[in-house]
Amino acid sequence: MRVLIADDTVLMRAMLSEQVASYGHEVILARDGREALDRAWSEPFDIAIIDWEMPHLSGLEVCWHLRADPRSAYAYLILMTAHDDAFYEFKALDAGADDFIHKPVNSAHLKARLKAGGRIAAMQQQLLDQARTDPLTGLANRRSVLERAEEEIARSRRYGHPLSVVMADIDHFKRINDTYGHAAGDEALKRFARALHEDLRPCDLVGRYGGEEFVVLLPETGIADAPMVAERLRARVAALPVEQDGVRFHMTASFGVAAVDGIGVDGIGGDGAAPGPGPAGGRGIEAALTEADAALYRAKEAGRNRVVV
C-alpha cells in the first residue's frame, strides 16, 4: 500500500515512516497540513495517517478538505493525537476520519489499524477498477474512455500537441454470432481487443465503446498520420484468425478517423466542412467522436474493411 504520513515533527515522521515501511508499505511524507493536501491530490495513496496538531492547517481541517474533494473523498484517513479523550475521538470521526490513533503510537496497534484500513482500501480499488473496465475484453469501458479522453484533450491543448481519435466497428458482427455462435462472437471481441492492445503504444488510449465498437485515442498523432495507424490496425485484424471450439474464421473491421481539435489536413475539417474551433477553441471528445462515427458510417457504406477520414 501507499501510506501518506503527515506530521510536523521530524522525529515523528522518521519513526512512523520507519514503522510503516517495515510492514512493507510505501511511504509518502508531508511536513504539515498544506503539504498533506498537495501530496494527497498529486499522487495516489491508500491510507493517510494525519497528525492533529500541525501549523497552518490542522489534521482535522485536512480531513475536511480531503473528504470534500472528489479525488480523495473515499480515502482511508487515520487521525493521530496525544489527546486521550472520547471527545477528540468523536471530533475526528465527525470531521471525516475513518479511525483514530493515540500518541505515542504503539507499533502493534498501528500495524493492526493499517491492516483494517488496507482491506477497505483494497475493496475500494477493486470496485473502482471494475467500474472502469469492460469485463469481456479487459479494456477501458465507455465511461472510462470518455473520462480519460477529456484529460488527454486537456493535456494536448496545454502543450499544443495533436490528438486524433479512431472509431472501429467489426463488420457484419451479427453474422459472426449467427454463424459461429455467441461464444465465438465473444472470442472475436477478445481477439480484436488484444490486437488493438498489442499494436498500439502504451500512451494510446484504447476502449470498448459499445457492443462491437472500439475507440482509440492517439496522442501526439495528427490527422495526417492517424489514418496510417488505423490502416495498420485494419490489416492486422483482417489477417487475424479467430479460433473457438476448433472452428477457425476471420473478421474485418471498418474505421473512422477524426482530429480531436477539428482541424483536418490543410486546416479543413475531416468531413470537408469548415475548420473546427481549433486547439484553443476547445471542442470536447463528443464532437470528435461524432465526426469519427460519421467517417465510420461512410466506411461501411463504401464496402467495409476500410479506413475513412
List active site positions.
Answer: 212
271 touches which of Mg ion, ligand GH3, none (CB within 5 to 8 A by kind)?
A: none
Member of 169, 204, 261, 291 binding Mg ion (CB under 5 A): 169
Member of 8, 89, 186, 199 binding ligand GH3 (CB under 6 A): 186
177 touches which of ligand GH3, Mg ion, none (CB within 5 to 8 A by kind)?
A: ligand GH3
Within 67-126, the residues that bind ligand GH3 by CB under 6 A are none
Within 36-65, the residues that bind Mg ion by CB under 5 A are 51, 53
Q: Least distance (Å) from ligand GH3 to the CB of residue 215?
A: 15
Q: What is the signed CA dihedral for 128, 129, 132, 136, rounded to 10 degrees?
A: -140
Q: Decide: is 185 part of the binding site for ligand GH3 (CB under 6 A).
A: yes
DSSP codes of every residue in 32-82: SHHHHHHHHHHS--SEEEEES--SSS-HHHHHHHHHHSTTTTT-EEEEEES
Are residues 59 and 53 in contact, defined by beta-carbon separation less than 8 angstroms?
yes
Distances in whole angstroms, Cα of residue 193 to Cα of each of 2, 72, 130, 221, 289: 31, 32, 17, 21, 19
Count of positions on this chain that bind Mg ion (CB under 5 A): 8
Q: Decide: is 298 part of the binding site for ligand GH3 (CB under 6 A).
A: no
Strands annotated E in the chain: 2-6, 26-30, 47-51, 76-81, 99-102, 163-170, 205-208, 213-219, 241-244, 247-250, 253-259, 307-308
Q: Least distance (Å) from ligand GH3 to the CB of residue 180?
A: 9
Q: Decide: is 293 part of the binding site for ligand GH3 (CB under 6 A).
A: no
Report the interface residues with ligand GH3, using CB under 6 A. 136, 169-175, 177, 182, 185-186, 189, 211-212, 300, 304
Report the interface residues with Mg ion, using CB under 5 A. 8, 51, 53, 169-170, 173, 212-213
